[in-house]
Amino acid sequence: MIKIDHLSTSYTTIDGPVHVINDVDFEIYDNEIFGIAGESGCGKTTLLKALYDILDFPLVVDSGKLILSGEKNGQAFSFETGQIRNTWWNHISYVPQAAQSVLNPIVPVKKQFLDSIPKANITKEPKAITMKRISNYLEELSLSPDLLNAYPFQLSGGMRQRVIIALATFMSPNVVLADEPTTALDVVVQRGILMMLMSLQKQLKNTMVIVSHDMGVHYQITDRMGIMYSGSMVELGKTEDIFEKPIHPYTRMLVGALPRVGDKSQKTGIPGRPPALTNPPPGCRFAPRCPKTAEECKKSVPKFREVEKGRFAACHLLNRGECRCQKNYSK
């Protein structure tokens, strides 16, 4: 469905390019919820922007490309980087980070719906019919059609997020990208939003890409997930495998920091901070924080490779046979 083919991007700054996505190469399938996790500043939003084809200056593609392909209403489609933006809303839509603040507070929700839907899709029918369709769709999502007459400033953050998700999914796009959809919401509202995303995916049978720094969110709703560190994908696989037998030391630390029911052990964070992308260390970028660093980690960048079917990681430990998938892993 989405092929990310050796993609590298950078931001152009007065001090030179800041390389944020480095040779990222993987696929996102039809009919799955794919998660992207990693610490703040590792490039999750940048990757999502690239997926949505928001590749406008200062963000530029250095190499590689993206291909969005599939089938909608019996018609096959395939779009590459630069073409994907022509199919926004129809085949792909985007719920940006801090989406609650993207609605204009002083414009009623219904006008924002009508202004957002591509004109080509609504000019063919009378406005009253479009409004009826929007209102029915909100009801399908268990949202009151009265919301259409409200102004965003009258709605809670959670309700604004629901409205944005409704807007993003109204045209049944094949792919929905959601950047931190539950951040800044309390846990009860978070759960409601996650349930909404899950049931929409089941109903549309489409692809959802969920970015979150919260591993708990990935555990609850994603089928497969990728872990990013300092602009690179360091591990990817089925979510249950990532949690049950993480390979990369960074993933092990992320998973190990999660509280579990009945586990009374002291939880520790990951020491240190990710490197500045303006001046990353040579070799593996996680090496300065890794408890298993060896000489080669400081010199060469580990290759992102398939460790077992559908399971990828980029770590020199794999060469040393110290991966948790293999029997001789020692903690």
Ligand X SMILES: Nc1ncnc2c1ncn2[C@@H]1O[C@H](COP(=O)(O)OP(=O)(O)OP(=O)(O)O)[C@@H](O)[C@H]1O
With respect to ligand X, which residue has the nearer C-beta, 214 or 296? Answer: 214
In angstroms, the CA 150 to CA 165 distance is 16
From residue 199 to residue 238, the character string flagging contacts with ligand X as x (rule: CB under 6 A) and all else as - is --------------x-------------------------
CA 328, CA 187: separation in Å to the nearest integer?
A: 40
CB contact at 8 A, 36 and 226: yes
Q: How far is the CB of 210 from ligand X (least distance, A)?
A: 13
SS3 (DSSP) at 308: strand
Scan for tokens 């792919």, then name that residue: 175
88 DSSP assignment: B
7 touches ligand X (CB under 6 A): no
Query: Segment near ligand X (CB under 6 A), from 10-18, 118-126, 162-170, 192-200?
Result: 10-18
Decide the pairing of beta strands 175-179 and 207-211: parallel
DSSP string, 49-64: HHHTT---TTEEEEEE
Pairwise CA distance, residues 190 & 158, whole Å: 8
Q: Does 20 bind ligand X (CB under 6 A)?
A: yes
Contact indicator for 148, 162 with CB cutoff of 8 Å: no
Task: State the residues that interact with Mg ion by CB under 5 A.
Answer: 44-45, 97
Tell me whether residue 166 or residue 227 sits nearer to ligand X (CB atom).
Answer: 227
Q: Does 58 bind ligand X (CB under 6 A)?
A: yes
| 45 makes contact with ligand X (CB under 6 A) | yes
Residues 75-134 close enough to bind ligand X by CB under 6 A: 97
13 binds ligand X per the rule CB under 6 A: yes
User: What is the number of other CB atoms lying within 10 angstroms of the CB of residue 184?
Assistant: 14
Q: Give yes or no for residue 311 binding ligand X (CB under 6 A).
A: no
Name the residue nearer to Mg ion (CB basis): 180 or 241.
180
Binding residues vs ligand X (CB under 6 A): 11, 13, 18, 20, 38, 40-46, 58, 97, 213, 277
